[in-house]
Protein backbone atom coordinates (compact mmCIF):
# COMPACT_ATOMS: atom_id res chain seq x y z
CA UNK A 1 0.00 0.00 0.00
CA UNK A 2 2.45 2.68 1.08
CA UNK A 3 6.02 2.63 -0.17
CA UNK A 4 8.08 -0.05 1.45
CA UNK A 5 10.77 0.86 3.91
CA UNK A 6 13.44 0.00 1.37
CA UNK A 7 11.94 2.63 -0.99
CA UNK A 8 12.14 5.13 1.84
CA UNK A 9 15.82 4.36 2.40
CA UNK A 10 16.62 4.81 -1.30
CA UNK A 11 14.69 8.01 -1.70
CA UNK A 12 16.78 11.17 -1.98
CA UNK A 13 14.96 14.22 -0.63
CA UNK A 14 14.26 16.90 -3.24
CA UNK A 15 16.38 19.32 -1.23
CA UNK A 16 19.40 17.16 -2.08
CA UNK A 17 18.67 16.67 -5.78
CA UNK A 18 20.87 18.96 -7.92
CA UNK A 19 18.29 19.14 -10.72
CA UNK A 20 15.83 20.78 -8.26
CA UNK A 21 18.27 23.22 -6.68
CA UNK A 22 16.70 26.22 -8.42
CA UNK A 23 13.25 25.64 -6.93
CA UNK A 24 12.01 27.05 -3.64
CA UNK A 25 9.42 24.64 -2.16
CA UNK A 26 6.05 26.10 -1.11
CA UNK A 27 4.78 24.83 2.24
CA UNK A 28 1.17 23.91 2.88
CA UNK A 29 -0.86 26.87 4.08
CA UNK A 30 -3.16 25.41 6.69
CA UNK A 31 -4.13 28.76 8.16
CA UNK A 32 -3.60 29.43 11.87
CA UNK A 33 -6.06 26.82 13.12
CA UNK A 34 -6.46 23.94 10.71
CA UNK A 35 -9.81 22.39 11.35
CA UNK A 36 -9.04 18.86 10.18
CA UNK A 37 -5.26 18.84 10.68
CA UNK A 38 -3.38 15.87 9.37
CA UNK A 39 0.08 14.84 10.46
CA UNK A 40 2.38 14.43 7.51
CA UNK A 41 5.31 12.22 6.87
CA UNK A 42 8.35 14.28 5.98
CA UNK A 43 8.83 12.90 2.49
CA UNK A 44 5.18 13.44 1.64
CA UNK A 45 5.36 16.97 2.97
CA UNK A 46 8.46 17.71 0.96
CA UNK A 47 7.09 16.23 -2.25
CA UNK A 48 3.92 18.29 -1.98
CA UNK A 49 5.93 21.43 -1.17
CA UNK A 50 7.82 20.98 -4.44
CA UNK A 51 4.65 20.13 -6.30
CA UNK A 52 3.07 23.33 -5.08
CA UNK A 53 6.07 25.25 -6.39
CA UNK A 54 5.78 23.91 -9.94
CA UNK A 55 1.99 24.16 -9.85
CA UNK A 56 2.04 27.82 -8.87
CA UNK A 57 4.77 28.53 -11.42
CA UNK A 58 2.81 26.49 -13.97
CA UNK A 59 6.01 24.75 -14.99
CA UNK A 60 5.04 22.14 -17.57
CA UNK A 61 8.36 20.35 -17.87
CA UNK A 62 9.74 16.83 -17.83
CA UNK A 63 10.88 17.18 -14.24
CA UNK A 64 7.41 18.44 -13.31
CA UNK A 65 5.95 15.32 -14.91
CA UNK A 66 8.29 13.12 -12.89
CA UNK A 67 7.36 15.05 -9.79
CA UNK A 68 3.67 14.33 -10.36
CA UNK A 69 4.60 10.65 -10.71
CA UNK A 70 6.15 10.75 -7.25
CA UNK A 71 3.26 12.72 -5.76
CA UNK A 72 0.74 10.30 -7.25
CA UNK A 73 2.73 7.43 -5.85
CA UNK A 74 2.27 8.89 -2.39
CA UNK A 75 -1.31 9.99 -2.74
CA UNK A 76 -3.14 8.83 -5.85
CA UNK A 77 -6.33 10.52 -4.66
CA UNK A 78 -4.90 14.00 -5.07
CA UNK A 79 -6.94 15.19 -8.01
CA UNK A 80 -5.05 18.49 -8.41
CA UNK A 81 -1.87 16.57 -9.11
CA UNK A 82 -3.69 14.57 -11.78
CA UNK A 83 -5.07 17.73 -13.39
CA UNK A 84 -1.65 19.27 -13.54
CA UNK A 85 -0.20 16.05 -14.89
CA UNK A 86 -2.63 16.20 -17.81
CA UNK A 87 -1.63 19.77 -18.55
CA UNK A 88 2.01 18.73 -18.55
CA UNK A 89 1.34 15.69 -20.74
CA UNK A 90 -0.42 17.91 -23.27
CA UNK A 91 2.30 20.56 -23.18
CA UNK A 92 5.07 17.99 -23.68
CA UNK A 93 3.04 16.08 -26.25
CA UNK A 94 3.91 12.84 -24.49
CA UNK A 95 3.09 9.57 -26.23
CA UNK A 96 0.01 8.50 -24.35
CA UNK A 97 0.81 4.82 -24.85
CA UNK A 98 3.53 5.41 -22.26
CA UNK A 99 0.99 7.05 -20.01
CA UNK A 100 -1.27 4.05 -20.33
CA UNK A 101 1.60 1.84 -19.16
CA UNK A 102 2.05 4.11 -16.17
CA UNK A 103 -1.60 3.78 -15.23
CA UNK A 104 -1.40 0.00 -15.62
CA UNK A 105 1.32 -0.07 -13.00
CA UNK A 106 -0.51 1.91 -10.34
CA UNK A 107 -4.11 0.95 -11.01
CA UNK A 108 -4.04 -2.51 -9.47
CA UNK A 109 -3.24 -1.14 -6.04
CA UNK A 110 -5.73 1.71 -6.42
CA UNK A 111 -8.63 0.12 -8.23
CA UNK A 112 -11.32 2.19 -6.48
CA UNK A 113 -9.69 5.53 -7.08
CA UNK A 114 -11.92 7.86 -9.12
CA UNK A 115 -9.00 9.96 -10.37
CA UNK A 116 -7.15 7.05 -11.89
CA UNK A 117 -10.22 5.84 -13.76
CA UNK A 118 -10.98 9.27 -15.07
CA UNK A 119 -7.38 9.72 -16.15
CA UNK A 120 -7.52 6.35 -17.88
CA UNK A 121 -10.60 7.47 -19.78
CA UNK A 122 -8.91 10.72 -20.80
CA UNK A 123 -5.97 8.75 -22.16
CA UNK A 124 -8.24 6.29 -23.99
CA UNK A 125 -10.31 9.11 -25.50
CA UNK A 126 -7.15 10.66 -26.84
CA UNK A 127 -5.86 7.37 -28.23
CA UNK A 128 -9.14 6.69 -30.00
CA UNK A 129 -10.86 3.46 -31.16
CA UNK A 130 -7.56 1.58 -31.46
CA UNK A 131 -7.44 1.68 -27.66
CA UNK A 132 -10.57 -0.46 -27.25
CA UNK A 133 -8.85 -3.85 -26.97
CA UNK A 134 -6.31 -2.74 -24.42
CA UNK A 135 -9.02 -1.00 -22.37
CA UNK A 136 -11.14 -4.13 -22.29
CA UNK A 137 -8.06 -6.11 -21.29
CA UNK A 138 -7.29 -3.63 -18.57
CA UNK A 139 -10.76 -3.71 -17.00
CA UNK A 140 -10.62 -7.49 -17.24
CA UNK A 141 -7.45 -7.50 -15.14
CA UNK A 142 -9.06 -5.29 -12.50
CA UNK A 143 -12.21 -7.39 -12.47
CA UNK A 144 -10.08 -10.50 -12.06
CA UNK A 145 -9.13 -9.11 -8.64
CA UNK A 146 -12.55 -7.70 -7.75
CA UNK A 147 -15.30 -8.78 -10.08
CA UNK A 148 -17.74 -6.21 -8.71
CA UNK A 149 -15.55 -3.12 -8.98
CA UNK A 150 -18.08 -0.44 -9.94
CA UNK A 151 -15.50 1.80 -11.60
CA UNK A 152 -14.24 -1.00 -13.79
CA UNK A 153 -17.74 -1.82 -14.96
CA UNK A 154 -18.60 1.82 -15.70
CA UNK A 155 -15.36 2.12 -17.66
CA UNK A 156 -16.05 -1.09 -19.53
CA UNK A 157 -19.53 0.07 -20.50
CA UNK A 158 -18.14 3.38 -21.70
CA UNK A 159 -15.52 1.58 -23.84
CA UNK A 160 -18.12 -0.62 -25.47
CA UNK A 161 -20.43 2.29 -26.20
CA UNK A 162 -17.81 4.69 -27.52
CA UNK A 163 -14.98 2.54 -28.83
CA UNK A 164 -16.65 -0.78 -29.59
CA UNK A 165 -15.49 -4.34 -28.94
CA UNK A 166 -18.82 -6.06 -28.30
CA UNK A 167 -18.02 -9.34 -29.99
CA UNK A 168 -16.80 -11.30 -26.98
CA UNK A 169 -18.71 -9.48 -24.26
CA UNK A 170 -21.50 -12.01 -23.74
CA UNK A 171 -18.90 -14.76 -23.43
CA UNK A 172 -17.10 -12.67 -20.87
CA UNK A 173 -20.28 -12.32 -18.83
CA UNK A 174 -20.81 -16.07 -19.05
CA UNK A 175 -17.33 -16.70 -17.76
CA UNK A 176 -17.70 -14.32 -14.84
CA UNK A 177 -20.99 -15.88 -13.90
CA UNK A 178 -19.35 -19.30 -14.05
CA UNK A 179 -16.81 -17.97 -11.56
CA UNK A 180 -19.49 -16.49 -9.33
CA UNK A 181 -23.14 -16.85 -10.19
CA UNK A 182 -23.93 -14.35 -7.43
CA UNK A 183 -22.09 -11.50 -9.17
CA UNK A 184 -24.79 -8.88 -9.62
CA UNK A 185 -22.48 -6.68 -11.70
CA UNK A 186 -21.98 -9.48 -14.21
CA UNK A 187 -25.73 -9.99 -14.45
CA UNK A 188 -26.15 -6.26 -14.99
CA UNK A 189 -23.51 -6.36 -17.72
CA UNK A 190 -25.24 -9.30 -19.31
CA UNK A 191 -28.40 -7.23 -19.51
CA UNK A 192 -26.43 -4.33 -20.93
CA UNK A 193 -25.01 -6.59 -23.65
CA UNK A 194 -28.29 -8.29 -24.50
CA UNK A 195 -30.09 -5.00 -24.90
CA UNK A 196 -27.40 -2.80 -26.45
CA UNK A 197 -24.98 -4.96 -28.40
CA UNK A 198 -25.08 -4.27 -32.13
CA UNK A 199 -23.84 -7.80 -32.88
CA UNK A 200 -26.64 -9.66 -31.12
CA UNK A 201 -30.26 -9.50 -32.19
CA UNK A 202 -31.64 -7.41 -29.38
CA UNK A 203 -33.68 -8.43 -26.36
CA UNK A 204 -36.58 -9.97 -28.23
CA UNK A 205 -34.35 -12.22 -30.30
CA UNK A 206 -32.31 -13.26 -27.30
CA UNK A 207 -35.14 -13.71 -24.84
CA UNK A 208 -35.73 -17.45 -25.13
CA UNK A 209 -32.13 -18.47 -24.75
CA UNK A 210 -31.67 -15.98 -21.94
CA UNK A 211 -34.71 -17.28 -20.08
CA UNK A 212 -33.31 -20.81 -20.26
CA UNK A 213 -29.95 -19.64 -19.00
CA UNK A 214 -31.53 -17.71 -16.16
CA UNK A 215 -33.87 -20.52 -15.11
CA UNK A 216 -30.88 -22.82 -14.82
CA UNK A 217 -29.10 -20.28 -12.65
CA UNK A 218 -32.14 -19.85 -10.44
CA UNK A 219 -32.61 -23.57 -9.93
CA UNK A 220 -28.96 -23.96 -8.97
CA UNK A 221 -29.21 -21.25 -6.30
CA UNK A 222 -32.76 -20.07 -5.68
CA UNK A 223 -31.59 -17.73 -2.89
CA UNK A 224 -29.59 -15.74 -5.46
CA UNK A 225 -31.32 -12.38 -5.88
CA UNK A 226 -29.69 -11.48 -9.22
CA UNK A 227 -31.13 -14.04 -11.67
CA UNK A 228 -34.63 -13.42 -10.34
CA UNK A 229 -34.25 -9.73 -11.16
CA UNK A 230 -32.66 -10.56 -14.48
CA UNK A 231 -35.58 -12.81 -15.35
CA UNK A 232 -38.05 -9.99 -14.75
CA UNK A 233 -35.86 -7.68 -16.79
CA UNK A 234 -36.10 -9.97 -19.80
CA UNK A 235 -39.77 -9.04 -20.13
CA UNK A 236 -38.92 -5.38 -19.96
CA UNK A 237 -42.00 -4.29 -18.04
CA UNK A 238 -44.37 -6.22 -20.33
CA UNK A 239 -46.45 -7.85 -17.62
CA UNK A 240 -48.71 -9.68 -20.07
CA UNK A 241 -45.71 -11.40 -21.58
CA UNK A 242 -44.32 -12.22 -18.14
CA UNK A 243 -47.61 -13.78 -17.12
CA UNK A 244 -48.13 -15.74 -20.32
CA UNK A 245 -44.68 -17.30 -20.51
CA UNK A 246 -44.96 -20.66 -18.74
CA UNK A 247 -41.26 -20.78 -18.07
CA UNK A 248 -41.68 -18.04 -15.47
CA UNK A 249 -44.39 -19.65 -13.40
CA UNK A 250 -42.73 -23.04 -13.92
CA UNK A 251 -39.49 -21.97 -12.29
CA UNK A 252 -41.44 -20.60 -9.33
CA UNK A 253 -43.26 -23.90 -8.98
CA UNK A 254 -40.04 -25.93 -9.24
CA UNK A 255 -38.38 -23.92 -6.51
CA UNK A 256 -41.41 -24.04 -4.26
CA UNK A 257 -41.52 -27.82 -4.56
CA UNK A 258 -37.99 -28.09 -3.18
CA UNK A 259 -39.26 -26.51 0.02
CA UNK A 260 -35.99 -24.59 0.32
CA UNK A 261 -34.95 -20.97 -0.36
CA UNK A 262 -38.26 -20.09 -1.90
CA UNK A 263 -38.64 -16.47 -0.81
CA UNK A 264 -37.93 -15.01 -4.24
CA UNK A 265 -40.14 -17.61 -5.88
CA UNK A 266 -43.00 -16.54 -3.65
CA UNK A 267 -42.49 -12.84 -4.39
CA UNK A 268 -42.35 -13.41 -8.15
CA UNK A 269 -45.47 -15.53 -7.94
CA UNK A 270 -47.17 -12.79 -5.95
CA UNK A 271 -46.36 -10.32 -8.71
CA UNK A 272 -47.62 -12.73 -11.39
CA UNK A 273 -50.91 -13.10 -9.54
CA UNK A 274 -51.16 -9.33 -9.25
CA UNK A 275 -50.77 -9.10 -13.02
CA UNK A 276 -53.63 -11.54 -13.58
CA UNK A 277 -51.86 -14.91 -13.66
CA UNK A 278 -54.22 -17.86 -13.19
CA UNK A 279 -52.57 -20.42 -10.90
CA UNK A 280 -52.83 -24.12 -11.58
CA UNK A 281 -54.20 -26.52 -8.97
CA UNK A 282 -50.74 -27.96 -8.57
CA UNK A 283 -49.42 -24.55 -7.63
CA UNK A 284 -52.19 -24.01 -5.10
CA UNK A 285 -51.47 -27.38 -3.51
CA UNK A 286 -47.77 -26.70 -3.23
CA UNK A 287 -48.39 -23.34 -1.57
CA UNK A 288 -50.81 -24.88 0.89
CA UNK A 289 -48.19 -27.46 1.81
CA UNK A 290 -45.73 -24.72 2.71
CA UNK A 291 -48.05 -23.29 5.28
CA UNK A 292 -46.80 -24.18 8.72
CA UNK A 293 -49.68 -22.79 10.69
CA UNK A 294 -53.43 -23.04 10.49
CA UNK A 295 -54.95 -20.94 7.74
CA UNK A 296 -55.81 -17.42 8.82
CA UNK A 297 -59.45 -16.62 8.14
CA UNK A 298 -58.32 -13.54 6.24
CA UNK A 299 -56.24 -15.62 3.82
CA UNK A 300 -59.11 -16.02 1.44
CA UNK A 301 -57.04 -16.60 -1.65
CA UNK A 302 -53.66 -17.63 -2.93
CA UNK A 303 -52.21 -14.13 -3.05
CA UNK A 304 -52.98 -13.32 0.55
CA UNK A 305 -51.73 -16.75 1.59
CA UNK A 306 -48.46 -15.99 -0.14
CA UNK A 307 -48.22 -12.64 1.62
CA UNK A 308 -48.73 -14.35 4.98
CA UNK A 309 -46.10 -16.92 4.10
CA UNK A 310 -43.67 -14.19 3.17
CA UNK A 311 -44.29 -12.37 6.43
CA UNK A 312 -43.16 -15.54 8.19
CA UNK A 313 -40.20 -16.56 6.06
CA UNK A 314 -38.93 -13.01 5.46
CA UNK A 315 -39.72 -11.27 8.77
CA UNK A 316 -37.18 -8.51 8.22
CA UNK A 317 -39.47 -7.18 5.49
CA UNK A 318 -42.75 -8.09 7.17
CA UNK A 319 -44.02 -4.51 6.87
CA UNK A 320 -43.51 -4.70 3.11
CA UNK A 321 -45.34 -8.00 2.80
CA UNK A 322 -48.17 -6.72 5.01
CA UNK A 323 -48.47 -3.71 2.74
CA UNK A 324 -48.58 -5.99 -0.31
CA UNK A 325 -51.36 -7.96 1.34
CA UNK A 326 -53.38 -4.83 1.92
CA UNK A 327 -52.78 -3.54 -1.59
CA UNK A 328 -53.56 -6.46 -3.82
CA UNK A 329 -55.38 -5.54 -7.00
CA UNK A 330 -59.12 -5.84 -6.66
CA UNK A 331 -59.41 -8.72 -9.12
CA UNK A 332 -57.07 -10.81 -7.02
CA UNK A 333 -58.96 -10.50 -3.75
Partner 1 sequence: MGDLEAEKHVKYILSVEKKDDFESLVLEHLRMNGAYWGLTTLDLLHKLDAVDPDEVVSWMMECYHQDCGGFGGNIGHDPHLLYTLSAVQILALFDRLDVLDIEKVSDYVAGLLNEDGSFSGDIWGETDTRFSYCAICCLSILHRLDKIDVEKAVSYIVSCKNLDGGFGSIPGGESHAGQIFCCVGALAITGSLHHVDKDLLGWWLCERQCKDGGLNGRPEKLADVCYSWWVLSSLIMIDRVHWIDKDKLTRFILNCQDRENGGISDRPDNAVDVFHTYFGVAGLSLMEYPGLKSIDPAYALPVDVVNRIFFGK
CB nearer to partner 1: give 242 or 255.
242
Write down the H helix ranges in the chain.
5-10, 42-57, 62-74, 79-92, 96-107, 114-127, 132-145, 150-162, 169-179, 184-196, 203-220, 225-233, 239-244, 246-258, 263-274, 281-290, 302-313, 318-326
Distances (CA, A) of 208 to 194, 201, 212, 239: 12, 12, 6, 16
Alpha carbon distances (Å) from 182 to 148, 221, 233:
10, 9, 17
Report the residue number, 253 or 270, with the smaller CB distance to partner 1: 270
49/177 Cα distance (integer angstroms)? 48
Q: Which is nearer to partner 1, 12 or 56 (CB)?
A: 56
Smallest separation (angstroms) from partner 1 to the CB of 278 = 23
Please tell me the distance from the alpha carbon of residue 265 to that of residue 323, in angstroms, as a whole number. 18
> Considering beta carbons, is residue 182 or 291 the nearer one to partner 1?
182
Please list, residue by residue across 123-150, b when 16 or more beta carbons sit within 10 angstroms of its beta carbon and e when fewer do: bbeebeeebbeebbebbeebbeeebebe
Return d(Cα 23, Cα 47) in angstroms, integer.
Answer: 12
Contacting residues toward partner 1, per CB under 8 A: 1-2, 28-41, 44, 48, 52, 55, 74-80, 83, 86, 114, 118, 121-122, 148, 150, 153-154, 157-158, 161, 182-185, 188-189, 191-192, 195-196, 224-226, 229, 232-233, 236-237, 315-317, 319-320, 323
Residue 189 or 286: the one with the smaller Cβ distance to partner 1 is: 189
The residues, any chain, with a CB within 8 Å of residue 263's CB and separated by 6 or more, are 223, 310, 313, 314
Residues whose CB is less than 8 angstroms from the CB of residue 277 and which lie 6 or more positions away in sequence, other chains included: 243, 249, 269
11 touches 73 (CB < 8 A): no
Comparing CB distances to partner 1, the nearer of 150 and 167 is: 150
Residue 134 is a catalytic residue: no
Q: For the CB of residue 285, give the shortest distance to partner 1 in the complex, in Å.
A: 28
CB of 182 to partner 1, least distance (A): 4
Q: How far is the CB of 208 from partner 1 (least distance, A)?
A: 19
* Catalytic annotation, residues: 112
Amino acid sequence: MSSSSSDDDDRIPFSRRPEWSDVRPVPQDDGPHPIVPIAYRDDFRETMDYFRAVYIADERSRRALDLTTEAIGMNPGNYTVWHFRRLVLEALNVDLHEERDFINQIAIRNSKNYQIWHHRRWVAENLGPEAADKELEFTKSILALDAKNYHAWSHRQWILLSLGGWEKELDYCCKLLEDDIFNNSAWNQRYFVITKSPVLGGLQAMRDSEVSYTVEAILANPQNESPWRYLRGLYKGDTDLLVSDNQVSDVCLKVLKTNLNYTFALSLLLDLLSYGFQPSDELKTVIEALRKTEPDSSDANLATTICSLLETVDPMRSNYWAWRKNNLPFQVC
